[in-house]
Chains A and B, each alone.
Chain A
Amino acid sequence: MGRVSVEAWIREYARLIAEAAPRLTELDSAVGDADHGANLSRGMAAVVAALDSSSFDDDGALLKKVGMTLVSTVGGASGPLYGTFFLRVSSALGDGFPAAFRAGVDGVAARGKSAVGEKTMLDTLVPAADALEAGKDWPAVVDAASAGRNSTVPLVARKGRASYLGERSAGHLDPGAESSFLLVRAAASALGAND
């Protein structure tokens, strides 16, 4: 996996997030505090600015910068969660992409003290990591992530601000599961092309 494709992954993710920001915020209005789209697009715009103005020795350094930039600009829960994801992927990149992706997902679980089934990012990310480690091709990885994302609709939230809604959180797509799906989709279009 070359430099260009990791950078392309991040840039594609930034593009998808900017495009989806109003929808993410709308999803968040239903169960949270209406800031998910605005926060992530602010953070990813800062990431793109950092990529434009810096050069990196390798993919690990680039992804570390992505993680640090997100932690420093996003705030809320998404900043530490996405920031931790990229920092962990960055340090595990030497073990290959599936293992690195898994390390990132484990980082999200540890930072958020959460697990699958609690209506969070992890409902998308864990099935994607499973599919990657099982050696599935990118379309299958995207399918797994999509099914995981959709599984959050009927769930009752156990973590984050949506959990305060109790049963009323059921019936809504989790905004974090949606933004995580975009992360997987961006990976598929940027990294999949080089497979």
Chain B
Amino acid sequence: MKKLINAPADVVVESLAGLAAAHPSLAVDLEQRVVHRADGPVAGKVGLISGGGSGHEPLHGGFVGLGMLDAAAAGEVFTSPVPDQILAATKYADGGAGVLHIVKNYTGDVMNFEMAAELADGVQIATVVTNDDVAVEDSLYTAGRRGVGVTVLVEKIAGAAAEAGRSLAEVAAVAQRVNDRGRSMGLALTSGTVPAAGKPTFDLPEDQIELGVGIHGEPGRQRVPLPSAREAAAMLVEPVLAEISPEQGVLAFVNGLGATPLIEQYLVYGEVAALLERHGVPIVRSLVGPYITSLDMAGVSVTLLAVDEEMLQLWDAPVNTPGLRWGV
């Protein structure tokens, strides 16, 4: 393992300290490992929090700021935060109008957020569980579809709704609609390496890829020979497109999983765009870059969101966070 760290046990807290040092608009509670808006909580505004294992940067701490999250709880690498942290984040976000918990559908995340919500006396909580990964097929036989790329879009769009002064019920409703209308699929060229484990989570031969990976280095559903970028784009886009109804076009999001450079991400985006054009699906907004990563895993995911007019307006609204910034 070759990583720029001091000690595996200190990776998360030292990274958060660096994040706070780099971005004065953020404050970090290093004891609880919660990133929150330095100017928060915003009185009368619905608070948005998320959280999950670390190792997905910039998700979630990098999306704290104007127009997106109010606080984020950072668990150990690939391990969900504990209820105490989620509770602390909830309190940092609570401006009196209630708090929305944005939870990715993983067993540990769901259970810890559930316990935190049970403990959050006096704060009105709504929860949206993102589950956009089409690689996981049948929730009768699994823990249900994973929450992946669409989580970023939920945080941005619901964050804009909260910033616009909407109620907790309204913010939760738009968050749920984004989740319901967005789908994702990813592939990995290499495994990531968890600092505490010290070696790659799985071995992947040079000539093969894992198709249908999530964001934790967990193996995908299928191992297939290394495709060209064009073939890879089709492997990701076709199953996603089959599950959405893009009447008014899509927001197309090509996400780098950590170690894949932008040159390849843009190349893949070009293939995705060409494919969608052949399907007659207009791309009305796009996002390309590493926004929800899996440490140093090489690979990409594609998220398509079947947008409507309201989502577009909220997407275009100003946002000012370390990971996403426009209109300010």
Chain A residues within CB distance 8 Å of chain B: 25, 29, 31-35, 38-39, 42, 71-81, 111-112, 156-161, 163-166, 168
Q: Can you list the 9 inter-chain pairs with the closest CB atoms, starting with the nearest? A: A163-B142, A76-B108, A77-B108, A80-B111, A33-B216, A75-B79, A77-B107, A76-B79, A38-B196
Instruction: Indicate if B214 sits at the interface (CB-CB under 8 A).
Output: yes
Q: How many A-B residue pairs have CB under 8 A?
A: 114
24 contacts between A and B (CB under 8 A): A29-B201, A33-B53, A33-B194, A34-B78, A34-B197, A34-B217, A38-B196, A39-B79, A71-B82, A73-B82, A75-B75, A75-B76, A75-B79, A75-B81, A75-B112, A76-B53, A76-B75, A77-B108, A77-B111, A80-B111, A159-B107, A161-B107, A164-B214, A164-B218
Q: Which residues of B126-141 are within 8 A (CB) of A?
A: 135-136, 141
Question: What is the CB-to-nearest-CB distance from B198 to chain A, in angstroms, rounded to a whole number?
Answer: 10
Most buried by B among A34, A80, A112, A158: A34
Which residues from B are CB-within-8-Å of A168?
219, 221
Instruction: Indicate if B115 sits at the interface (CB-CB under 8 A).
Output: yes
Question: What is the CB-to-nearest-CB distance from A80 to chain B, in angstroms, rounded to a whole number?
Answer: 4
B82 near A32 with CB under 8 A, answer no
Which residues from B are CB-within-8-Å of A160?
107, 143
A71 near B141 with CB under 8 A, answer no
A165 to B219: give the CA distance in the assembly, Å. 7
Question: What is the CB-to-nearest-CB distance from A159 to chain B, in angstroms, rounded to a whole number?
Answer: 6
Which one, A34, A42, A164, contacts B221 given CB within 8 A? A164
A79 near B141 with CB under 8 A, answer no
**Additional pairs, 4, CB under 8 Å, beyond known A76-B75, A164-B143:** A35-B78, A75-B108, A80-B115, A164-B221
Question: What is the CB-to-nearest-CB distance from A42 to chain B, in angstroms, rounded to a whole number?
Answer: 8
Interface of A (DSSP majority class) = helix
A164 with B80: in contact, given A34-B194, A80-B112 (CB under 8 Å)?
no
B81 near A158 with CB under 8 A, answer no
A159 near B112 with CB under 8 A, answer no
A35 near B142 with CB under 8 A, answer no
Interface string of B196-211 (1 = CB under 8 A from A): 1100011000000000
Q: Which residue of A lies closest to B146 (CB)?
A: A164
Q: Which residue of A lies closest to B139 (CB)?
A: A163
A39 to B79: give the CA distance in the assembly, Å. 8
Most buried by A among B75, B142, B202: B142
Instruction: Indicate if B29 sits at the interface (CB-CB under 8 A).
Output: no
B217 near A33 with CB under 8 A, answer yes
Which residues from B are CB-within-8-Å of A76?
53, 75-76, 79-80, 108, 112
Question: What is the CB-to-nearest-CB distance from A70 to chain B, in angstroms, rounded to a whole number?
Answer: 9
Which residues from B are CB-within-8-Å of A75?
53, 75-76, 79-82, 108, 112
Most buried by A among B107, B197, B202: B107
A32 to B80: give the CA distance in the assembly, Å. 13
A64 to B184: give the CA distance in the assembly, Å. 41
A29 near B142 with CB under 8 A, answer no
Question: What is the CB-to-nearest-CB distance from B9 to chain A, in angstroms, rounded to a whole number?
Answer: 8
Instruction: Indicate if B77 sits at the interface (CB-CB under 8 A).
Output: yes
A42 to B79: give the CA distance in the assembly, Å. 12
A111 to B108: give the CA distance in the assembly, Å. 11
A91 to B84: give the CA distance in the assembly, Å. 21
Which one, B80, B217, B221, contacts A166 given CB within 8 A? B221
Question: What is the CB-to-nearest-CB distance from B153 to chain A, in angstroms, rounded to a whole number?
Answer: 22
Q: Which residue of A lies closest to B106 (CB)?
A: A161
Which residues from B are CB-within-8-Å of A72?
82-84
Question: What is the CB-to-nearest-CB distance from A154 to chain B, in angstroms, rounded to a whole number?
Answer: 16
Which residues from A are CB-within-8-Å of B106?
161
